[in-house]
Amino acid sequence: MLNDDVPVHWYEVGQPDAEITVVYIHGFTLAAEAFYQQVNALRGTGVRQVLMDLRGHGQTGAVPPEECSVDAAADDVWAVMREREVRGPVIVVGHSLGGLVALSLIRRYTHQCDVAGVVLINASVEALADQGIPQILATPVADAIYDAVEASPEEADKFRNEVTKIIAPGLAVTIFHRDTDDELIDFHAAMIHETPLETYVGFFDDLQVHEELQAGPALAGVPGYVLVGTQDDVTPLSQAERIQEIWPDSYLQVVPNAGHMLPLEAPESVTVALLRLIEKVS
Query: Measured over all CA atoms, what is the biggest interatomic distance in the chain, rounded to whole angstroms?
Result: 53
From the number of C-beta atoms within 10 Å of its C-beta (0-12, 13-18, 19+), residue 112 rates as exposed
Task: Provide CB contacts within 8 A for 233, sequence distance 6+.
Answer: 134, 135, 174, 259, 260
The stretch 131-155 carries a mean pLDDT of 57
Name the β-bridge partners of 90.
21, 115
Rounded CA separation 251/248 (Å): 8
Place 133 in a pLDDT band, splitting at 50, 70 and 90.
very low
Structurally, what CATH architecture does the domain formed by 2-281 represent?
3-Layer(aba) Sandwich (3.40)
Q: What was the pLDDT predicted at 200? A: 84
Q: What is the pLDDT of residues 81-130, one digit of tens each?
A: 999 999 889 999 999 999 999 999 999 998 898 999 999 999 999 987 66
Q: What is the pLDDT of residues 246-259, one digit of tens each?
A: 999 999 999 999 99
Helix, strand or coil, per DSSP, at residue 141: helix
Name which residue leads in pLDDT, 213 or 4: 213
Q: What was the pLDDT predicted at 99? A: 98
Place 153 in a pLDDT band, splitting at 50, 70 and 90.
low
pLDDT at position 134 over 60 = no
Which of these ranges, 4-8, 113-117, 209-213, has the smallest mean pLDDT?
4-8
pLDDT-above-90 percentage for the chain: 66
Q: Are strands 2-3 and 6-7 parallel, antiparallel or unpaired?
A: antiparallel
Which of these ranges, 65-79, 180-194, 210-224, has the smallest mean pLDDT?
180-194
Q: What was the pLDDT predicted at 198? A: 86
The stretch 130-142 carries a mean pLDDT of 52
pLDDT at position 141 over 60 = no
Buried b vs exposed e over 158-175: b needs ≥16 C-beta within 10 Å?
ebbeebbeebbeebbebb
**DSSP string of 195-246?**
S-HHHHHHHHHHHTT---GGGHHHHTT--EEEEEETT-SSS-HHHHHHHHHH
Rounded CA separation 121/131 (Å): 17
Domain range summary for the chain, segments of one domain joined by +? 2-281
pLDDT-above-70 percentage for the chain: 85
The stretch 53-78 carries a mean pLDDT of 96
User: Does the N-terminal peptide bond of residue 89 adopt cis geometry, omega within 30 degrees of 0?
Assistant: yes
Name the β-bridge partners of 250.
224
Say what the alpha-carbon torsion angle 155, 156, 162, 168 is, to the nearest 10 degrees. -170
Output the average pLDDT for the chain: 88
Q: How many CA atoms lie within 13 A of 237 on its CB side?
A: 10
